Amino acid sequence: HVTFFFNGGIEEPNKGEDRTLVNSPKVATYDLKPEMSAPEVSEKLDAAITSGEYDVIIINFANPDMVGHTGVLDAAIKAVERVDACVGAAYDAVMKMNGVLFICADHGNAEQMWNKETNAPHTAHTTNPVPFILCNYDDSYTIKEGGRLCDIAPTLLQVMGLPQPAEMTGESLLIKK
């Protein structure tokens, strides 16, 4: 899912790109297994980070989104707690390798589980602002507010010291302090 969108809607892997798919559990609804496959994703992520083979690793923890669609608050809390632990492990692995970590989302869901207007569970994506967190990069930079999804790739390219293609209309979110 994330790979398809990050690669501009192209299904085929790019040259030098490895893809790993960890299937979601086979359950009727994800509130029945809010941890989904996050432990397995986290394990594979740790191995990829500590291998030192990759310049960039892009992953998706789908739990808050998929469990959020069920409208079951207790399950969504468990999903977010599981992802929080997995992100903590990823942070530790990236810091151990002296890498840079980005954390972002493309939409909200689990942060709004109740619709006050309908007095019913809210099960759809939200348009609420989402975090964009950068860890272990040059301290002379900060992240500008009000970024857009199209700004993520230019930011990543700047961190990697690579030029931004003219076709990219976004702007780096990094600003000098």
pLDDT per residue as tens digits for the range 119-143? 999 999 999 999 999 999 999 999 9
Q: What are phi and psi of 174, to 5 degrees?
A: -80, 130
Is the Cβ–Cβ distance between 130 and 143 less than 8 Å?
Answer: no
Residue of 63, 142, 61, 72 whose CA lies nearest to 104: 61
Q: Where residue 6 falls among pLDDT bands split at 50, 70, 90?
A: confident
**Least confident residue range of 4-8, 9-13, 73-77:** 4-8
Confidence check: pLDDT of 73 > 80: yes
Residue of 78, 58, 56, 54 whose CA lies nearest to 66: 78
Give the pLDDT confidence score for residue 83 in this predicted structure.
98
Q: Where residue 96 falls among pLDDT bands split at 50, 70, 90?
A: very high
Residue partners of 74: CB distance under 8 A and separation at least 6 = none
Is the Cβ–Cβ distance between 83 and 62 less than 8 Å?
Answer: no
Q: Where residue 51 falls among pLDDT bands split at 50, 70, 90?
A: very high
**Which residue segments constitute the domains of the chain, with CATH numbers given?**
2-136 (3.40.720.10), 141-177 (no CATH)
Confidence check: pLDDT of 1 > 80: no
Count how many Cα atoms sit within 13 Å of the Cα of residue 166 in the half-sphere of its side chain: 0
Mean pLDDT of the chain: 95
Q: Distance (Å, rounded) from C-alpha 163 to C-alpha 177?
A: 22
Q: Distance (Å, rounded) from C-alpha 38 to C-alpha 67?
A: 12
